[in-house]
């Protein structure tokens, strides 16, 4: 498998399947369908009495996932489970899923390789395109509006908080002086001019951090994750399992703290004392897996 192909392979696939422990007649929710790699794994273990509900707020991702799973269901014939799709943010999960009805809930946070690799979506600092960064392309301000409309102080706070960038004021000043900012390439150059890389030709860490900050803010990603942890205990059956994969410390901190607090309140039994990470072979093949951290818990 080439690295390009590996980018489309779901992260920590075997580990997700082990923790979810899919029962053929169970009900499962994939909160982040993406390219439906994990979802296909779940569907293939379900029988005709089983059910998967899949969420994605990105209409393009949802259509691709729908097409992929339709092929799998057709192949499974009369042994196929029921699959339902919800094209909304997973913070709305409690409006679509009945209380205490779910055996397993999966969330693989962040952007998909589809979103990241597609220059026009505006997530990547390696491409040159309008700075969109919305997962749900139907609504809400783009990151470009944020970059051009926020005050310098607000921008600095955002880059500090969501990018964990110490020199956020310097970065924000350079961005504001460079306005109007109309492309990902221009934004990357402005950040690099303010905090140059250690070596000529490298991308400075501040660029990645600034892009991460804008993406998190534009998609309200941390609020979404908090809402999911709030809803999950009510939706899972006793012994139902929650499996989450995070890709940076802000996401993982919410997961870790929510599970710890829930454990103290008798809601969760922790299944992963330390987060599960990818092994060397997976990291070699799939660079995205290098920062992945899986945490799992069982509803008491």
Ligand X SMILES: C[S@@+](CC[C@H](N)C(=O)[O-])C[C@H]1O[C@@H](n2cnc3c(N)ncnc32)[C@H](O)[C@@H]1O
- Residues contributing to the site for ligand X (CB under 6 A): 10, 32, 34-38, 55-58, 61, 89-90, 108, 110, 112, 135, 224
For the chain, the first-to-last Cα distance in angstroms comes to: 40
Answer whether the bond into residue 152 is a cis peptide, omega within 30°.
no
Q: Which is nearer to ligand X, 15 or 56 (CB)?
A: 56
Smallest gap from residue 40 Cβ to ligand X (A): 8
H or E stretch at 238 = strand 236-246
Nearer to ligand X, 58 or 252 (CB): 58
Residue nearest ligand X, CB atom distance: 34
DSSP string, 82-143: EEEEE-S-GGGGGGTS-TT-EEEEEEE-S--HHHHH-GGG---TTS-S-----SSTTSS--H
Instruction: Using DSSP, state whether 9 is helix, strand or coil.
Output: coil
Task: Provide the minimum distance between the beta carbon of 90 and ligand X in the complex, in angstroms, as a whole number.
Answer: 4
For ligand X, the closer CB: 28 or 55: 55
Considering the complex, state which of residue 9 and residue 271 has its C-beta at the smaller distance from ligand X.
Answer: 9
Minimum Å gap between C-beta 166 and ligand X is: 27
Tell me the C-alpha distance between 61 and 34, whole Å. 5
Cα distances (Å, whole numbers) of residue 259 to 91, 141, 226, 298: 17, 32, 11, 10
Please report how close the Cβ of residue 24 comes to ligand X at its closest, in angstroms. 21
Minimum distance of ligand X from residue 17's CB (angstroms): 11
Q: What is d(CA 35, CA 121) in angstroms, rounded to the nearest whole number?
A: 16
Give least dist CB 172 to ligand X, A. 26
* Residue placing its CB nearer to ligand X in the complex, 57 or 167: 57
Choice between 29 and 188, CB closer to ligand X: 29
Nearest to 166, CA basis, from 175, 156, 177: 156
């Amino acid at each position: 498998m080439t690295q390009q192909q590996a980018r489309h392979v779901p992260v920590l696939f075997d580990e997700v399947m082990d923790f979810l422990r899919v029962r053929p007649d169970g009900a499962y929710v994939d909160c982040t369908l993406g390219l439906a790699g994990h979802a296909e794994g779940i569907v293939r273990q379900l029988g005709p009495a089983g059910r998967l509900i899949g969420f994605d707020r990105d209409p393009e991702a949802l259509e691709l996932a729908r097409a992929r799973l339709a092929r799998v269901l057709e192949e499974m014939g009369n042994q196929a489970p029921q699959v339902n799709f919800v094209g909304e943010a997973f913070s709305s999960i409690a409006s679509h899923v009945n209380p205490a009805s779910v055996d397993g809930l999966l969330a693989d946070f962040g952007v998909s390789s589809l979103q990241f690799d597609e220059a026009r979506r505006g997530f990547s600092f390696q491409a040159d395109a309008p700075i969109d960064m919305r997962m749900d392309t139907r609504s809400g301000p783009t990151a470009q509006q944020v970059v051009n409309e926020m005050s310098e102080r607000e921008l600095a706070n955002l880059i500090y908080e969501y990018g964990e960038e110490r020199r956020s004021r310097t970065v924000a000043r350079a961005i504001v002086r460079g306005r109007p900012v109309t492309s990902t390439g221009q934004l990357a150059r402005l950040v690099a001019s303010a905090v140059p890389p250690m070596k000529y030709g490298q991308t400075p860490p501040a660029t990645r951090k600034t892009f991460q900050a804008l993406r998190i803010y534009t998609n309200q990603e941390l609020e979404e994750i908090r809402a999911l942890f709030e809803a999950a205990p009510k939706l899972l059956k006793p012994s139902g399992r929650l499996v989450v994969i995070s890709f940076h410390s802000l996401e993982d901190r919410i997961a870790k703290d929510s599970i710890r607090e829930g454990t103290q309140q008798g809601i969760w039994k922790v299944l992963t004392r330390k987060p599960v990470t990818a092994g060397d072979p997976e990291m070699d093949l799939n660079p995205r897996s290098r920062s992945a951290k899986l945490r799992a818990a069982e509803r008491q």
